[in-house]
A and B are shown apart, each in its own frame.
Chain A
């Protein structure tokens, strides 16, 4: 029978197991070693080197990012303190200038008052001096008139 010829023949057949089996096994083992040195090792080295490189870069970037955030926070606090400092300086300066202004104003007022007072006193003294002189001249004049009148007579 044909079917018998397929499977059961001593010569050939689908299930004809012979020395092909161990030789094929040796061939596959040899192939494993060849592929290991030709393919798995070199490609693995490259891929793992790159993976390491990438992960190192990611870690580095994360470190840098955290550093940046720290610096940012640092700067923010510095900015805050600088701002309050500036405010303090500005208000201080304002107070100072206010005080100086008031002082100067007072000084000027006092000076003005003093000179006004001095002028008034001067005017008063001159007025009284003039009045004295005037009344003395009137006295002289009246005396002169009286004398003349007496002489003519």
Chain B
């Protein structure tokens, strides 16, 4: 009874429905692109405003952007190492900013007020396509980082302390993108669902702490994603002795 009604309510949340765009014979999730364009547009406007007039004594937005830059540099430097962190800082920073902006944008903006013919707007990172895309980019990056820095010696990593490690290391190449994508996807989707269900059941006060928890999770997930990506790249370029 209650459970049944909960399920129908859940169905009212339109889980797993998408706004399809058909281009030729490929199909896209339109709502993911719409929200990501809005959020990335806002991010780019914000950054252009902050970097428009760069001064030696930072003021206002420039201060914030410099803090952000410093934060990302520290993240990249501690994980990747002094030698090559510069090459990978933009990628790590973009991952962090993309995930962070997507998560927070999804949680803070009342997208539900905008009605779509099908599906609903929300965090782009709550769509499995986005998180798999990000995770695969990370995989490609660490392979590229390892091969470009160490050449074929990169594959020494697979037999590193002993050749017994070989199957585990090969397995890791599959589990890394899997865990990266599903961690992010699961966390953000679960947060959206919990907030959605709570708002549906108790529209007053009760969802607010959960929303704050969601914001916290969102920020943490962005940090985790960027840190892990940097760690994987750092692991690939690390020199064994």
- B204 interface hit (Cβ, 8 Å): no
User: Contact check: which of B15, B48, B62, B134 meets A38 at CB < 8 Å?
Assistant: B48
CA distance A39 to B92 in the complex (A): 13
User: Contact check: which of A21, A43, A46, A53 meets B129 at CB < 8 Å?
Assistant: A21
> Would you call A38 and B47 a contact (CB within 8 A)?
yes
CA distance A32 to B40 in the complex (A): 11
Type the 1/0 row for B98-118, where 1 means its CB is closer than 8 Å to any CB of A. Answer: 100000000000000000000
Which residues on the B side are within 8 Å of A18 (C-beta)? 26-29, 129
One of B65-73, B142-150, B207-215, B230-238 at the interface:
B65-73
Distance from B45 Cβ to chain A, minimum over Cβ atoms (Å): 11
Distance from B103 Cβ to chain A, minimum over Cβ atoms (Å): 15
Q: How many residues of B contact A (CB 8 A)?
A: 52
- B194 interface hit (Cβ, 8 Å): no
- B17 interface hit (Cβ, 8 Å): yes
Residue of A nearest to B58 (CB): A46
> Would you call A17 and B132 a contact (CB within 8 A)?
yes
What 4 pairs across the A-B complex have the smallest Cβ distances?
A20-B129, A19-B26, A25-B133, A36-B90
Q: Which of B18, B56, B72, B119 has the most CB of A within 10 A?
A: B18
CA distance A39 to B96 in the complex (A): 13
> Would you call B28 and A20 a contact (CB within 8 A)?
yes
Residue of A nearest to B128 (CB): A15
Type the 1/0 row for B30-74, where 1 means its CB is closer than 8 Å to any CB of A. Answer: 001100100010001001100100111010001001100110110
Type the 1/0 row for A23-37, where 1 means its CB is closer than 8 Å to any CB of B. Answer: 111011101101110
- B184 interface hit (Cβ, 8 Å): no
CA distance A31 to B92 in the complex (A): 12
> Would you call A39 and B32 a contact (CB within 8 A)?
no
> Would you call B16 and A47 a contact (CB within 8 A)?
no
Apart from the given pairs A6-B15, A39-B47, A43-B65, 14 other A-B contacts in the complex at a CB distance below 8 Å:
A20-B127, A24-B130, A25-B137, A29-B137, A31-B40, A32-B90, A32-B94, A35-B47, A35-B93, A43-B62, A44-B69, A46-B66, A47-B66, A47-B69
Given contacts A12-B18, A43-B51, contact A17 B90 (CB under 8 A): no
- A70 interface hit (Cβ, 8 Å): no
Residue of B nearest to A20 (CB): B129
Task: Give B contacts to A, CB under 8 Å.
Answer: 7-8, 10-11, 15-18, 23, 26-29, 32-33, 36, 40, 44, 47-48, 51, 54-56, 58, 62, 65-66, 69-70, 72-73, 89-91, 93-95, 97-98, 119, 124, 127-130, 132-134, 136-137, 189
- A108 interface hit (Cβ, 8 Å): no
Task: Give A contacts to B, CB under 8 Å.
Answer: 2-3, 5-7, 9, 12-25, 27-29, 31-32, 34-36, 38-40, 42-44, 46-47, 49-50, 53
CA distance A37 to B186 in the complex (A): 32
> Would you call B130 and A20 a contact (CB within 8 A)?
yes
CA distance A46 to B7 in the complex (A): 55
> Would you call A47 and B70 a contact (CB within 8 A)?
yes
> Would you call B97 and A28 a contact (CB within 8 A)?
no
